[in-house]
Amino acid sequence: MHEDPIELDDELESGEGSEELYERVNIVADKGQEPLRIDKFLMNRVEGATRNKIQQACESGWVIVNDKPVKSNYKVKAGDKIVVMTTKNPENTDVIPEQLDLNIVFEDEDIMIINKQPGMVVHPGCGNYTGTLVNGLAWYLGGQTTEVIEPEIPRFGLVHRIDKNTSGLLVIAKSEKAMNDLAKQFFDHTVQRRYIALVWGDFEEDEGTVEAHVGRHQRFRKIMDAYPDGEYGKDAITHYKVLERFNYVTLIECRLETGRTHQIRVHMQHIGHSLFNDDTYGGNRILKGTVFNKYKQFVDNCFELMPRHALHAQTLGFIHPRTRKPVHFESPMPEDFKAVLEKWRRYISARPLED
């Protein structure tokens, strides 16, 4: 259970909260809990929380009970699962440097290019305070010491992020100047980023574009959702191109014009093509194919080979912050991704296609 003080920044108090939300408090009400307003309940349980701040968090939809946002007059009862979100990034806490195996593709005095392996969390957060890329950066860039440090170096370093179970390329800034320059390139959408993804279903066209705002899910606040009418979230554009068809699944390339949280995963789910084995957005079950048990066993074997969503950040290109020359990097397809694709090739070639 996390009972850190609830801290609301100016953005939250003005009602214009950051798109990024982080779990700050996680409490399960005791069996003997008598009905009590949630604002009073949290004041008694969370150090530093005021009733005004809790009420503001409720108004913003960031106090969640049993997976649903609640108002400040909600009566807590026994067994309720209570989560409070915040815009305060947990990476702003102290960082423990750790000697980790960082796959550094390129490095000079300004930048590092890292090929992140699937399963590695990029920055510390709730339940992931060690073993993250930031912990490794703190060791590597901070003089290889185990002393707890302030997070300036990791914060300078992280220009962008990819999900825990997404593999591929990340650029790390080694100075504040490089950080500011690269951040502006990302903001201006001039950075070239291409991903490869295996998704469920076949496409009628060889290429296309998904345009739908991406924002926090209105009910399940830990995940994102697509809003094609633009009523919530931020604008998001994903261009895709078919690379290889397997009838039941398709290998595609995605080019990001924007970089919203879970953008590719949300956009693909939105158009009915959830990523293969994406347990957050519905891809971890059979969405297309036959009813035969052998097919189910085949898909289960694929899931075991690649126990993560099938997404890889393959290419990254931008203007070098010092030389002002274009630089371009590519990451080879990971072994688990290659193995699953090869299984699909063999499966499709060995049997007739069925609806």
Q: Which of 163, 181, 278, 336 is catalytic?
A: 163
Please, what are the domains in the chain?
A: 22-86 (3.10.290.10), 104-187 (3.30.2350.10), 192-350 (3.30.2350.10)
Find which of 11-15, 130-134, 300-304 is predicted with most confidence, using mean pLDDT.
300-304
Is-catalytic flag, 108? no
Give the model's confidence band at 230: pLDDT under 50 very low, under 70 low, under 90 confident, else very high: confident
Pairing type for strands 63-65 and 111-116 reads unpaired
Closest C-alpha to 201, from 298, 264, 253, 271 = 271
Residue 30: per-residue pLDDT: 86
* pLDDT tens, residue by residue, 126-141: 666 788 898 898 888 8
Tokens standing for 265? 């995963």
CA angle 43, 44, 45 (to 5 degrees): 95
Taking residues 192-200, what's their average pLDDT? 97
pTM of the predicted structure, to 2 decimals: 0.73
Mean pLDDT, the chain, integer: 85
Residue 17: per-residue pLDDT: 30
Residue 266: per-residue pLDDT: 97
Give the model's confidence band at 155: pLDDT under 50 very low, under 70 low, under 90 confident, else very high: low
Please tell me the least confidently modeled range out of 118-127, 185-194, 200-209, 233-242.
Answer: 118-127
Closest C-alpha to 67, from 185, 201, 223, 198 = 223
Percent of the residues in the chain that have a pLDDT greater than 90, as a whole number: 55
Residue 274: per-residue pLDDT: 97
